[in-house]
Chain A
Amino acid sequence: MKGIAAALLALLAAGCVQGEYNRITVDEPLREELVAPLRPGVDTLAQCLAQLGAPHRVFEYRVGQDGTSGAALLWVWREAAGWGVDVSGGTEEASGSFSFDLTNTDLPGCVLWFGPDLVLERWQRGTLGDLLPGRQRPSAQPAD
């Protein structure tokens, strides 16, 4: 028993195993009171950009046979905090490099969908898993 305690203490003292409490925040949530007044069928892309500022990502949406397309605008943010055990002596989370991983389906976000006329069709808040289901890279098309 004493041997195990000594080994554990040695690991802790060497920094190989440490408890940690981390908080990570990336950008600010899109506040409900900003999004709620938006009027589907009425508000335009210009009005929404003026109200909400720039999104994090823009995607092609509802591409027509005639080459017209709408747009889906995504806002995403992250607020996470919690306890953990660091076994390696360093954490990737604290590495400082920044990039949203849009495959992380648990991230909260908000999407606004605009039709080809760039008038707001609808908006939804939720997790990326709900907001961007089945999104995939468009197939490459050879130039005419």
Chain B
Amino acid sequence: MKTTRSLLLSALLLLPACALARQDTNEPLDAALIRSLQPGKTTAREVVERLGAPTEVVQLGRRTAYRYDASATKSTALILLLVNFANQDTRTDRLWVFFDENNILTHHGAWYGTHRPQYAMPWEDVHEAEDNAEADAERPGVGK
């Protein structure tokens, strides 16, 4: 009986625990909305009306550039008695819009990544081309 108790106690102490967590910052960018922006026509006011307040405004001489972004982080941990293994994978959506001195859109560039982070252990391969393609296919406006 004493041996059984000792074995059970040892097993309980040595049993691993797993943890998963996800943290998002800002809403993912809307690819369809961004595609509606028209260089030479869309104004800074219209961009703000459609996308909201930017994260950052940068002065470029007489020009300005606005940054919009969002991020998603997936964390995985295997917690053992003496050692822990943890993986943290963060991907971001980013949009930069550039305006001339009259606040007319001249350029914009976007990157979509918040649908790509993966729960994985630190020794696993992640973000292989097939993984990204599969994730892209499931996000409206991003997959080709």
Contacts and interface: CB of A to CB of B under 8 A. Distances in A.
- Do A and B assemble together? yes
B111 A53 contact: yes
A116 B101 CA distance: 13
In this complex, which of B81, B85, B107 has the most chain A Cβ atoms within 10 angstroms of its Cβ? B107
Interface stretch (A17-25, A35-43, A101-109, A128-136): A17-25
Contact of A71 (B23, B65, B85, B95): B65
B113 to A, nearest CB: 6
A76 B12 CA distance: 43
B122 A98 contact: no
Contact of A56 (B73, B84, B94, B108): B94
Contacts of B84: 18-21, 86
Interface residue SS majority, chain B: strand
A115 B8 CA distance: 70
Interface in B51-81: 58-63, 65, 67, 71, 73, 75, 77, 81
A7 interface: no
A1 B11 CA distance: 27
Interface residues of B, number: 42
A60 B60 contact: yes
B98 to A, nearest CB: 7
A62 to B, nearest CB: 9
B25 interface: yes
Interface residues of A, number: 43
A100 to B, nearest CB: 9
A70 B58 CA distance: 12
B125 to A, nearest CB: 11
A27 B92 contact: yes
B90 A19 contact: no
A56 B122 CA distance: 25
Interface of B: 13, 21, 23, 25, 39, 58-63, 65, 67, 71, 73, 75, 77, 81-92, 94-96, 98, 107-111, 113, 122, 126-127
10 closest pairs, A vs B, by CB?
A69-B61, A49-B109, A23-B122, A53-B111, A96-B23, A54-B94, A19-B83, A54-B109, A20-B84, A26-B90
29 contacts: A12-B81, A12-B82, A13-B13, A13-B81, A19-B84, A20-B83, A21-B86, A22-B87, A22-B88, A24-B90, A26-B90, A27-B90, A28-B113, A49-B96, A49-B107, A49-B108, A50-B109, A55-B96, A55-B109, A56-B94, A59-B58, A69-B60, A69-B61, A69-B62, A71-B60, A94-B86, A98-B23, A98-B73, A116-B61
